[in-house]
A and B are shown apart, each in its own frame.
Chain A
Amino acid sequence: MIGGRGGAAVSSARTADRTFQFLLAAMAAAVPVIIGAMLVALIAAAWPAIQRFGGAFFVTSTWDPVAEEFGVLPFVYGTLVSSALALVIAVPLGLGVAIFLAELVPGWLRSPISFFVELLAAIPSVVIGLWGIFVLVPWVRTALGPLLSASLGSLPLFRGPPLGIGMLTAGLILAVMVVPFIVAVSTEVMRTVPRSQREAALALGATRWETTRTAVLPYARSGIIGAVFLALARALGETMAVTMVIGNVPQIKTSLFAPAYTIPAVIANEFSEATSDLYVAALIYAGLVLFIVTVIVNALARLLVRRVAHGPTQIRE
């Protein structure tokens, strides 16, 4: 090192800089470390159940805490079907809102509408569930259900009495909860489409809608798929609102009017009352799978959204 007082001051400042940078890096690194720790902790806690049931856990339907027999097939079914239902409702609607917000809206309306969509996302899940129990469930029982029975009752999907609670209501409430994510991410992705793309289409005489359809949507496609994946991950893991309206019956029924059960809901309802170690391990095993699936879906979503930001080389066709 350089001698003298000045040199010492410089070198101690450099040490301080390095130390500080290391401290900051350690904080940033906390995130991947936590995710790794979650994986390890959940596997360790679920181990008795993993050892005992293995892969059969997902294809058997017995859920009997007394006999200590656990299979999560009905919960997996409920989680997948309610999420799929939510996407079927939320994707077209959310995409419509996103197109409106990014391309067609009059300027002064954009900011208030996106603010209200953000507010919808900010309402706590338990409040949406409360609304679900006291407003949505009666509405499905007395209005939507009978309407669907009368018009589409011949389909197995809408057979039986509409109880209000059940798969359909869970799908609806999930749609309400994931639609803001679809809107936010899709709008953002569409805004990253370069102006030149739009201007080229408009210069050729395309209307605003034709510009959206031919120039914007193809460019933004992978990002929009990313938005859908993001919404899917939210729907798969959403707990409170679903628990409050789905009926919590572990069964596999074709009818959307029938009550069902999901993985997050069974964890929420039974975890604190789980008496035996194997019971707790089985619930954590279910949570572990939820964790792994949502991490994968989220990672895919992020990669897809990022592709749009990185430019047009990624467009196919």
Chain B
Amino acid sequence: MDRRYQVRRATNALMAAVTFGCTLLVLTPLVVILAFLARTGLSALNGDFFTQLPGAAGEPGGGMANAIAGTLILVALAAGIGIPIGVLGGTYLSEFASTRVSRTARFTADVMNGIPSIVMGLFAYVLIVLPMRHFSALAGGVALGVMLIPTVMRTTEEIVRLVPQSVREAALALGIPQWKTMLRVVLPTAAAGIVTGIMVGVARVAGETAPLLFTAFGNRFWNRDLLQPIAALPIQIFAYAISPFDDWHRQAWAGALVLVTLVLLVNIMARYAAGRQVKLR
């Protein structure tokens, strides 16, 4: 009797240890990746990286200034498409939760979140590159913007739903129309959370490569024309990583470090903001 109990307790302890071991194993790649980024990336980062155009193939030196600018432009385009549709649609999902449109949109948004990013690239290619006959920043921005929509929509829905019903009722009781209540009372109340959600979504699409390969395409030079191919940090990292040159490999690590720092900062800020919001409630 007592022996059996000991065995059961031992099993319990063993499973706790095994699952903890799984956790350590899963987090190992994260630690290793961050360590390599810090070690290799930091040593390759310098002023040139942020201010210079890429050098000629195989020659050391040069930077990714145009790619950084390109990524900012692409992300701005994506935000211009994804944020209005996502925020307004998300508000609808929260405020008119059980209509047919809501249920369909919620389900398809979840499904759309799982559609491979390369397929988004194909879609933007067919939609924009094919009719225009050439690659363009616009096409890349559309690909990223479409990817942003479901993420922003679902986060907005969740945050707006947290706004207490009494806030809406107070506004409506003052005779404020429903549309004004949503725009001027409900959304501002939820603004901090929505902004955080948007930032996390934007940081994610900023690191996407696959949808840009045959839309934004990449560019070795500066470009401000949205209808022409444009450089992007992730494309540049990819191109340099598979190149045969050591200096380009170093620059790829530097680019990756910049990209990951951005993503990590946004995520940490989001977590901090989320923690604060919970405490306020």
Contact = CB atoms under 8 A, between A and B. Distances in A.
A272 B118 CA distance: 13
Interface in B66-122: 84-86, 88-93, 95-96, 99, 101-102, 104-105, 107-119, 122
B213 A271 contact: yes
Contact of A44 (B117, B126, B200): B126
A164 to B, nearest CB: 14
A157 interface: no
B267 interface: yes
Contacts of A295: 111, 114-115
Contacts of A258: none
B280 interface: no
B174 interface: no
Interface stretch (A23-31, A48-56, A188-196, A308-316): A23-31
A135 B15 CA distance: 31
A42 B124 CA distance: 10
Nearest to A92: B22
The main secondary structure of chain B at its interface with chain A is helix
Contacts of A210: 8, 11-12
B19 A104 contact: yes
Given A127-B33, A272-B214, A267 B263 contact: no
B113 to A, nearest CB: 8
B209 A24 contact: no
The main secondary structure of chain A at its interface with chain B is helix
Interface residues on A, range: 35 or more
A179 B146 contact: no
A176 B30 CA distance: 9
Interface in B184-206: 200, 203-204
B119 A287 contact: yes
B96 A25 contact: yes
Interface stretch (A58-66, A93-101, A145-153): A93-101
A210 B279 CA distance: 34
Given A119-B264, A127-B207, A34 B26 contact: no
Given A41-B126, A125-B210, A207-B9, A20 B182 contact: yes
B116 A42 contact: no
A264 B105 contact: no
A185 to B, nearest CB: 11
A264 B210 contact: yes
Contacts of A123: 30, 33, 207, 260, 263
A21 B209 CA distance: 36
B4 to A, nearest CB: 12
B16 interface: yes
Contacts of A16: 177, 179
A299 interface: yes
B153 A135 contact: no
B11 A32 contact: no
B147 to A, nearest CB: 10
B221 interface: no
Contacts of B253: 130
B27 A117 contact: yes
A212 B93 CA distance: 35
B12 A207 contact: yes
A244 interface: yes
B19 A100 contact: yes
B29 interface: yes
Contact of A179 (B26, B107, B113, B115): B26
B57 interface: no
A27 B264 contact: no
Given A122-B204, A271-B213, A34 B110 contact: no
Given A45-B122, A100-B19, A104-B15, 10 more contacts: A24-B91, A28-B102, A41-B126, A96-B23, A100-B16, A122-B200, A127-B33, A128-B33, A134-B241, A271-B122
7 contacts: A27-B84, A45-B126, A99-B19, A100-B16, A208-B12, A234-B114, A298-B115
Cβ-closest 7 pairs across A and B: A237-B116, A124-B207, A96-B22, A20-B179, A100-B19, A24-B92, A298-B114
Interface of A: 13, 16-17, 19-21, 23-25, 27-32, 34-35, 37-38, 41-42, 44-45, 92-97, 99-101, 104, 113, 115-120, 122-131, 133-135, 176, 179, 183, 207-210, 212, 230, 233-234, 236-240, 244, 264, 267-268, 271-272, 284, 287, 290-291, 294-295, 297-299, 301-302
